[in-house]
């Protein structure tokens, strides 16, 4: 009885996990024409990640259980076509496919935006191999042999088990669209990140011209430091109370800015890494303005400065009264890293 209950719960797990896999498939299809549209769309990105972690948790939990189940069949010399199909096609092959997609998505984030329209379906195919071979094995191999036992937590027929994940996935996808619609309504007014979006394009244009006229050294020595003096005034207009920052220590002011930046949707996450008392690196992750860089070449981004770094420089300048030296930003598909150093 305990073994049968365990098997039934494994089918329940695959049904739930596949619901999230289907939901993520819908999210991918929603942006399939141009994955760059997901950049800065924090609601879509947040749920895409959240659903991805949930489906992976179910997938690997099932993998561990299936490996043990496979061991029990080998030890007991119990074989049937369903076990062989599920163990090899839905087990080892699916594990390799899903894990390949996971490693790229986790550690090669830039590649996701370039090849996501291929990697996403590949990962879904891996999940599907595991899911459908699992259902086939259970409903056409295991369940018919249960003459005195009835299922409790899952559908009794293969048809309903096949349909439910798509209904569940569609509902989960609709939740994302509703949440996204609510967030869009809240951002109808002129927001600070919209200001920075425009600033992003403008600064790159001026930087390119300044480099051609003055050269890169002059750009960082004269142009950029004067830029954040004006940004300082714009920030007050945009809802950032600079007087509030002046009352804080520099580390506390940076933390407060990061909270506000994430709250208004500047980026999913802002990181500050202090290398010394005078030097630090600012990194934006899933930046709301990263779509701008999607239409720019690598050469155009060379020696460019992330606008968020300029804004942070204005805060540091206001608090410390010191000039800042900025190094060219290192841009990637979803953000940038910029080193800033206080100048005595």
- Residue 61 is predicted with a pLDDT of 92
- Residue 138 is predicted with a pLDDT of 87
Question: Do the beta carbons of residue 306 and residue 336 sit within 8 Å?
Answer: yes
**Rounded to a whole number, what is the distance in angstroms from the first to the last CA of the chain?**
76
Q: How far apart are CA 326 and CA 222, in angstroms?
A: 11
- Residue 53 is predicted with a pLDDT of 93
pLDDT in tens, 305-331: 787 787 777 778 777 877 777 788 888
Same domain (yes/no): 127, 79: yes
Measured at the alpha carbon of residue 171, what is the angle toward residues 166 and 177, in degrees to the nearest 5? Answer: 125
The predicted model gives 229-236 an average pLDDT of 60
Nearest Cα neighbor of 169 from 62, 46, 55 is 55
Same domain (yes/no): 155, 198: no
Residue 170 has pLDDT above 90, yes or no: yes
Same domain (yes/no): 126, 58: yes
Same domain (yes/no): 15, 162: yes
- Residue 117 is predicted with a pLDDT of 77
- Residue 13 is predicted with a pLDDT of 93
pLDDT band of 55, cuts 50, 70, 90: very high
Rg value, the chain, Cα: 26
Boundary (domain end) residue, out of 186, 218, 237: 186
Q: How far apart are CA 7 and CA 13, in angstroms?
A: 10
Q: Please name the residues in contact with 10: beta carbons below 8 A apart, sequence gap of 6 or more.
A: 62, 65, 66, 69, 134
Same domain (yes/no): 198, 266: yes
Same domain (yes/no): 156, 202: no
- Residue 140 is predicted with a pLDDT of 86
Same domain (yes/no): 77, 23: yes
Task: Supply the range of the domain harboring residue 102.
Answer: 2-186
Please give the residue that has the higher pLDDT: either 307 or 124.
124
Please give the residue that has the higher pLDDT: either 300 or 65.
65
Residue 130 has pLDDT above 70, yes or no: yes
pTM, two decimals, is 0.61
Mean pLDDT of the chain, nearest integer: 77
Nearest Cα neighbor of 24 from 161, 106, 120 is 120
Least confident of 34-48, 213-227, 307-321: 213-227
Please give the residue that has the higher pLDDT: either 247 or 210.
247
Please give the residue that has the higher pLDDT: either 119 or 225.
119
Please give the residue that has the higher pLDDT: either 128 or 148.
128
Same domain (yes/no): 196, 143: no
Residue 186 has pLDDT above 50, yes or no: no
Please give the residue that has the higher pLDDT: either 139 or 195.
139
pLDDT in tens, 57-92: 999 999 888 888 777 766 666 555 556 666 777 778
The predicted model gives 187-211 an average pLDDT of 55
Same domain (yes/no): 177, 39: yes
Nearest Cα neighbor of 170 from 22, 303, 2 is 22
Boundary (domain end) residue, out of 164, 186, 208: 186
pLDDT band of 2, cuts 50, 70, 90: confident
Q: SS3 sequence, the chain?
A: CHHHHHHHHHHHHHHHHHHHHHHHHHHHHHCCCCHHHHCCCHHHHHHHHHHHHHHHHHHHHHHHHHHHHHHHHHHHCCCCHHHHHHHHHHHHHHHHHHHHHHHHHHHCHHHHHHHHHHHHHHHHHHHHHHHHHHHHHHHHHHHHHCCCCCCCCCCCCHHHHHHHHHHHHHHHHHHHHHHHHHHHHHCCCCCHHHHHHHHHHHHHHHHHHHHHHHCHHHHHHHHHHHHHHHHHHHHHHCCCCHHHHHCCCHHHHHHHHHHHHHHCCCEEEEEEEECCCCEEEEEEEEECCHHHHCCCCHHHHCCCCCHHHHHHHHHHHHHHCCEEEECCCEECCCEEEEEEEEEC
Q: How far apart are CA 129 and CA 344, in angstroms?
A: 62
**Could you give the number of structural domains in the chain?**
2
Boundary (domain end) residue, out of 142, 159, 186: 186
């Amino acid at each position: 009885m305990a073994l049968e209950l365990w098997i039934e719960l494994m089918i329940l797990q695959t049904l739930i996990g596949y619901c999230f896999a289907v939901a993520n498939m819908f999210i991918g299809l929603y942006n399939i024409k141009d994955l760059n549209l997901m950049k800065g769309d924090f609601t879509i990105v947040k749920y895409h990640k959240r659903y991805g972690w949930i489906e992976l948790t179910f997938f690997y939990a099932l993998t561990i259980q299936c490996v043990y189940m496979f061991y029990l069949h080998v030890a007991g010399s119990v074989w049937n076509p369903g076990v062989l199909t599920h163990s090899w096609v839905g087990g080892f092959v699916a594990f390799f496919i899903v894990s390949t997609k996971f490693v790229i998505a986790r550690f090669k984030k830039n590649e996701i935006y370039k090849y996501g329209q291929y990697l996403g379906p590949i990962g879904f195919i891996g999940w599907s191999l595991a899911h459908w071979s699992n259902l086939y094995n259970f409903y056409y191999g295991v369940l018919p042999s249960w003459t005195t036992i009835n299922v409790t937590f899952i559908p009794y027929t293969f048809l309903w088990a096949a349909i439910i994940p798509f209904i569940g996935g569609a509902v989960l996808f609709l939740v994302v669209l509703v949440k996204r619609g609510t967030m869009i309504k809240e951002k109808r007014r002129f927001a600070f990140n919209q200001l920075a979006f425009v600033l992003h394009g403008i600064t790159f244009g001026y930087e390119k011209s300044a480099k051609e006229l003055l050269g890169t050294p002059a750009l960082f020595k004269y142009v950029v430091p004067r830029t954040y003096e004006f940004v300082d005034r714009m920030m007050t207009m945009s809802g950032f109370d600079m007087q509030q920052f002046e009352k804080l220590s520099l580390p506390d002011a940076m933390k407060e800015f990061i909270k506000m930046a994430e709250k208004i949707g500047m980026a999913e996450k802002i990181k500050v890494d202090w290398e010394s008392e005078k030097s630090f690196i600012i990194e934006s992750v899933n930046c709301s303005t990263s779509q701008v860089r999607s239409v720019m070449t690598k050469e155009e981004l060379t020696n460019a400065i992330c606008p968020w770094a300029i804004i942070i420089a204005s805060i540091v300048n206001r608090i410390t009264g010191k000039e800042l030296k900025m190094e060219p930003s290192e841009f990637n598909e979803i953000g940038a890293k910029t080193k800033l150093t206080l100048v005595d």
